[in-house]
Homo-oligomer: A and B are copies of this chain.
């Protein structure tokens, strides 16, 4: 599609612009050394590249900046595989070395590392329901009318929910039920729990107790605990140091969205495995038009488990971020499989 030379020039422009955040002109490209043509020649090519939609010009007498299409070409064809620096690798080692017992600690820590290394905002999604199973269930009365339901998953996540005890249900009823659930449903994948509750436990309860309706309602409610994926953010304030967000209005749009956990979950989840890059308007959400979101999935024993992502301006260090995400997602998969694999 693009000639060799056009590619080189596009590459040089994106590269320069990522570094400087300033429109780049033909002169500076010519002086870089890797494109040994005169400014005039480069100008001609730049005009072509603009016509093709890879570049934009803020105004007639300014240099060019990459368009979304330009960035897209850059990441698809040009972005160099970026070997990480030694100091960065050190941080990874920490992740493996530190004695992090809980999955959530691993995720949280990985998020911090990501944000620190890249100077962008990291967004990590915890385990999906699909890939954990029930380890233990407990129903503990708190008062006459309320009880707390506790669910422990196969990965050691503990979720809880306070529920209202229906009229006429006794503490011993609840104990019986909890025991029943543990006996029948331990090891069942979380996303199948509700279905199994009705198919397997329903009859049993009918046999044991009078308040079938109420009890099922209670259990149904209790099992809702831990249904939503958790979101871990780190480095949100890194957004502030990006020159593209010196405009507080734009900044607020993005930061506001970062507070909306459900929306974030939706935006980060995708069937796509591996690395995914969404540039500017490729993001569905309006608030992210000036941003790029790069995500990777991590897994437990080969099963996709959660997502890690980096949010930054479209003028983002793609090579570095992609490299980092790739390595970190692998490191997380290893760390998790090492601990919770069969």
Contacts and interface: CB of A to CB of B under 8 A. Distances in A.
A152 B150 contact: yes
A161 B240 contact: no
B99 A164 contact: yes
Nearest to A251: B240
Which of A140, A158, A339 neighbours the largest number of chain B CB atoms within 10 Å of its CB?
Answer: A158
A291 to B, nearest CB: 16
Interface stretch (A32-40, A47-55, A141-149): A141-149
A142 B135 contact: yes
Given A102-B162, A136-B140, A156 B148 contact: yes
Given A150-B158, A237-B256, A240-B255, 16 more contacts: A99-B164, A101-B161, A101-B164, A102-B161, A102-B162, A136-B140, A138-B138, A142-B156, A143-B339, A143-B340, A158-B160, A236-B259, A237-B255, A237-B259, A240-B251, A240-B252
A248 B244 CA distance: 12
Contact of A252 (B138, B148, B163, B241): B241
A246 interface: yes
- Identical chains bound together, number: 2
A101 B102 CA distance: 27
Nearest to A154: B142
A299 B146 CA distance: 20
Interface residues of A, number: 34
Which of A138, A143, A148 neighbours the largest number of chain B CB atoms within 10 Å of its CB?
Answer: A148
A20 B160 CA distance: 47
A150 to B, nearest CB: 6
Nearest to A341: B143
Nearest to A150: B158
Contacts of A138: 138
A105 B255 CA distance: 23
Which of A135, A140, A236, A237 neighbours the largest number of chain B CB atoms within 10 Å of its CB?
Answer: A237
